[in-house]
Amino acid sequence: MKKTGLIIVIALAIAACSKDSDNTMYVKAQIKGLKKGTFFLQKQMDSLIVSVDSVSVNGKEDFVLTDQVDSPEMYYLTLGNSSKRIAFFGEKDTVYINSQLDLFSVKAKIKGSDNQDILNQFNEFQQKFKDQRLDLVKEEFEARKKNSQDSIDLVASKLRNWNKRRILYTANFAVKHADREVGPYIALTELTNTSIKLLDTVNNSMTPEIRASKYGKKLEAFVKEIKATEQ
């Protein structure tokens, strides 16, 4: 009996260790209005978008896809060969995606990823900046329609200030969240055409853990490359 009990304890310990080292991501999706189709779980490798899992659905609205996530990164849930694609930050454990077929990416709601929650906050503010720019473009159109050079110059000044505010907000947001993988990701996708000073600030703000992540390594390599070309 003692020997049996010892075996059980060892088995439980091994199982617990295996669970702790498990980097599996489960993407549990529910797409309303879905009748039949094939879904691909994709991510970027080098310069290519590759499929890491797929599932064919027939008569069900829900399905599960998986992948091994060494470091949190952007994934895509893609419907067949169409342009319908939901982008989300993938992490180990379970990510839940709910949407509907006719408004695939527009209505997508994603839970279970802390990086995605932060990215959602960033995207909300980015949408506000986009709305502001649309208003300025309309204002510029009216100014040109009236052929008022003073008004055109004023709008141009407003656009420059708008761009400065957008860049500074983005940089500050990336620095604030440099302890998560989404920090360097935002820097790489939104700040590569700005000053090296801003990129370097984000890079220096990363924690050791994030510096060793996929996007942390990419940001550091990009900053080093830019600095080398400027010397």
Residue closest to 220 by CA, chosen among 195, 193, 184: 184
Q: Do 108 and 184 share a domain, yes or no?
A: no
Query: Could you report the per-residue pLDDT of 134-151, keeping only the tens digit for each?
Result: 999 999 999 999 998 999
Q: By the 8 A CB rule, do 51 and 93 touch?
A: no
- Between 11-25, 51-65, 206-220, the lowest mean confidence (pLDDT) is in 11-25
Q: What's the pLDDT at 44?
A: 92
Indicate the pLDDT class of residue 8, thresholds 50, 70 and 90. very low
Residues 125 and 104 in one domain: no
DSSP state of 113: -
Burial 194-213 (b: 16+ CB within 10 A, else e): eeeebbbbbbebbeeebbeb
Strand-pair category, 93-100 with 62-68: unpaired
Residues 219, 122, single domain; the answer is: yes
185 lies in the same domain as 94: no
Q: Return the beta strands (E) in 128-199 as ranges.
A: none
Q: Are 35 and 102 in contact (CB under 8 A)?
A: no
Q: How many domains does the chain have?
A: 2
Do β-strands 73-79 and 109-111 pair in parallel, antiparallel, or remain unpaired?
unpaired
Its domain, for residue 54, covers 23-112
Q: Do 37 and 49 have their domain in common?
A: yes
pTM: 0.85
145 shares its domain with 209: yes
Q: Name the E strands within the chain.
A: 24-32, 36-45, 48-58, 62-68, 73-79, 85-90, 93-100, 109-111
| 9, part of any domain | no
Domain contains 74: yes
More confident site: 145 or 231: 145
Q: Is the pLDDT of residue 49 over 70?
A: yes
Residue with tokens 């990215």: 119
Same domain, 122 and 100: no
Shared domain for 106 and 197, answered yes or no, is no
Tell which of 91, 112, 133 closes a domain: 112
The pLDDT assigned to 46 comes to: 85
